Amino acid sequence: MRRSKADAEVTRARILDAAGKLFASQGITRTRLSDVAAEASVTRGAIYWHFKDKEALIEAMMDSVSAPTNAALEALSNTRQNEALSLDMLRNVIIGAFERTNRLPALEQITRFVFRYALCAESESLTNRINVDRELAVDRLRRFIVTAQQAGLITTDISPPCLAIHIHAHIIGLFHYHLSIPAPGLSVDYVSASLDLLFKGLKPKSSATEQTNDDQS
Closest-CA residue to 85 (of 139, 147, 142, 143) = 147
What does the pLDDT look like over 130-171, one tens digit per residue? Answer: 889 999 999 999 999 999 999 999 999 999 999 999 999 999
How many Å apart are CA 162 and CA 165, to the nearest integer?
5
What does the pLDDT look like over 4-51, one tens digit per residue? Answer: 788 888 999 899 889 888 887 888 888 999 999 999 999 999 999 999
The CATH code that applies to domain 54-205 is 1.10.357.10
What does the pLDDT look like over 81-133, one tens digit per residue? Answer: 667 789 999 999 999 999 988 888 877 878 887 887 777 766 787 888 888 99
List CB contacts of 145: < 8 A, sequence separation 6 or more: 154, 160, 163, 164, 167
Given a contact cutoff of 8 angstroms between Cβ atoms, the answer to whether 61 and 110 are in contact is yes
Residue limits of CATH 1.10.10.60 in the chain? 1-51
- Per-state percent for the chain, helix, strand, coil, to nearest 5: 80, 0, 20
Closest-CA residue to 126 (of 135, 137, 113, 136) = 113
Q: Go through the chain and tell me how many residues it has.
A: 217
Residue limits of CATH 1.10.357.10 in the chain? 54-205
What does the pLDDT look like over 201-216, one tens digit per residue? Answer: 999 987 545 555 555 5
Alpha-carbon torsion (181, 97, 73, 208), positive or negative: negative
The CATH code that applies to domain 1-51 is 1.10.10.60
Reply yes or no on whether the pLDDT at 69 is more than 80.
yes
